């Protein structure tokens, strides 16, 4: 077995799947889009047409970098969001998870340091850990990563820090958004300490009222930022299409690593996404998605304020899929066992922290998957169980 193999561990959420995916259970666990939002009929029609009319092209191997036409569309999409990119600076990947994995392969050696938020996205933590790098976490508050603590870590860890990983909008798992002021401060620190920034943004378009501040990538004058986008939460994760925008040299290295990983991503998937962009389907659906998830989020926040006992605190997301909860002196993993028996599930917060000693009293609630009625029902049930546990 290789050293790489010895570092592999199951993803803590995926390992819970057998517990939380029973249909009778109201699940706030999986951070997945509602399957109700998938434009299945439209995609079926587009797929049938693509295969019939352009089968020899879309069923054939494609180039590693991804379909040129979709890359051009991604550049347009980025430009509309204040990010200037030319095709040489873009690679399409099998979801942004693959981009994370490729980045870790080309940027990290064992012993390097990566700075993440506490808490952070489990998929990124997995990819970083597999590379043998050391993770240093910096706390979040309501405005995102704490800049003064970040600077302290940069000063202490010096040259060993390879990149800062941040989910800027409606963060997974906390629901928090990095403020405009802190985006500029983070950019300044990255330039000053000469470290890369990986800006992971799968939820930016799923805002409820106002679009979030401009991406860090739009402030990037020294080519220090890699921006990751994904169609998983806006269209359907089964299409496995995401992208990275970054410095030409780095994107080229990711392309070489991808060549060995999978030759190319699914050409049919990419052609489907391309059609969804070119016929305007994606842009038409975004306002619908925002309303859809806003209602679920509001329902969850209202139920929390109605049913939560003393000592329970939570975040107020302005988009995305997640609410983060702090319990008063209670272990979320033990609570999960009782909760699942009673028909409601969530993800304990500990695995989102790089440090195994912290976060035992936290949990993540995803409002994305369940109907508003079941959201309300599930929160009332869960809060009752917390109240009972507090009394015992």
Ligand X SMILES: *Cc1c(COP(=O)(O)O)cnc(C)c1O
Interaction site with ligand X (CB under 6 A) = 31, 95-97, 121, 123, 167, 172, 200, 202, 230, 232, 237, 242
DSSP, res 16: G
DSSP, res 211: P
Provide the token pair at 11: 């993803």
Q: Is the sign of the CA dihedral 183, 189, 190, 191 positive or negative?
A: positive
Q: Is the peptide bond before 173 cis (omega within 30 degrees of 0)?
A: yes
Nearer to ligand X, 231 or 314 (CB): 231
Nearer to ligand X, 114 or 312 (CB): 114
Nearer to ligand X, 31 or 319 (CB): 31
CB of 95 vs ligand X, minimal distance in Å: 2
Q: Is the sign of the CA dihedral 248, 249, 255, 259 positive or negative?
A: positive
CB of 362 vs ligand X, minimal distance in Å: 17
Nearer to ligand X, 172 or 376 (CB): 172
What stretches of the chain adopt beta strand conformation (E)?
A: 26-27, 90-93, 113-118, 134-141, 144-145, 161-167, 196-200, 225-230, 242-245, 313-314, 322-326, 344-345, 347-348, 362-366
Provide the token pair at 200: 């992971």
Nearer to ligand X, 176 or 308 (CB): 176
For tokens 């494609």, the residue is: 62
Q: What share of the chain is helix, strand, coil (3-state, %, to 5)?
A: 50, 15, 35
Nearer to ligand X, 144 or 312 (CB): 144
């Amino acid at each position: 077995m290789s050293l790489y193999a010895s570092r592999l561990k199951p993803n803590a959420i995926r390992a819970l799947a057998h517990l939380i995916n029973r249909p009778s259970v109201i699940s706030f666990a999986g951070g997945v889009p509602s399957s109700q939002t998938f434009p299945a009929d439209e995609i079926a029609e587009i797929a049938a047409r693509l295969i019939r009319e352009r089968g020899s092209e879309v069923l054939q191997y494609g180039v590693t970098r991804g379909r040129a036409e979709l890359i051009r569309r991604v550049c347009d999409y980025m430009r509309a969001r204040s990010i200037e990119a030319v095709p040489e600076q873009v690679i399409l990947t099998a979801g942004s998870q693959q981009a994370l994995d490729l980045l870790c392969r080309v940027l990290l050696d064992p012993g390097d340091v990566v700075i993440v938020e506490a808490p952070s996205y489990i998929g990124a933590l997995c990819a970083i850990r597999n590379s043998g790098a050391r993770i240093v976490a910096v706390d979040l508050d309501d405005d995102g990563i704490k800049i003064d603590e970040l600077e302290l870590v940069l000063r202490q860890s010096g040259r060993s820090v390879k990149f800062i990983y941040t989910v800027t909008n409606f963060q997974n798992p906390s629901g928090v958004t990095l403020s405009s002021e802190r985006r500029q401060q983070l950019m300044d620190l990255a330039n000053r300490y000469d470290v890369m920034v990986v800006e992971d943004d799968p939820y930016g378009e799923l805002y409820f009222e106002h679009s979030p501040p401009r991406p860090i990538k739009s402030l990037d004058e020294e080519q220090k930022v890699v921006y990751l986008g994904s169609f998983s939460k806006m269209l359907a994760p089964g299409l496995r299409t995401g992208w990275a925008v970054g410095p030409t040299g780095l994107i080229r290295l990711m392309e070489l690593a991808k060549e060995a990983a999978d030759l190319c991503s699914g050409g049919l998937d990419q052609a489907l996404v391309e059609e969804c962009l070119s016929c305007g389907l994606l842009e038409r659906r975004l306002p619908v998605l925002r309303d859809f998830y806003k209602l679920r989020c509001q329902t969850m926040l209202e139920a929390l304020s109605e049913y939560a006992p003393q000592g329970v605190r939570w975040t107020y997301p302005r988009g995305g899929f997640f609410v983060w909860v702090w319990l008063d002196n209670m272990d979320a993993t033990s609570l999960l066992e009782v909760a699942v028996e009673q028909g409601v599930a969530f993800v304990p917060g500990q695995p989102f922290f790089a440090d195994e000693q912290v976060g035992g009293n936290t949990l993540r609630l995803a409002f994305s998957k369940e109907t508003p009625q079941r959201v309300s029902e599930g929160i009332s049930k869960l809060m009752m169980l917390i109240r009972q546990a507090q009394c015992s």
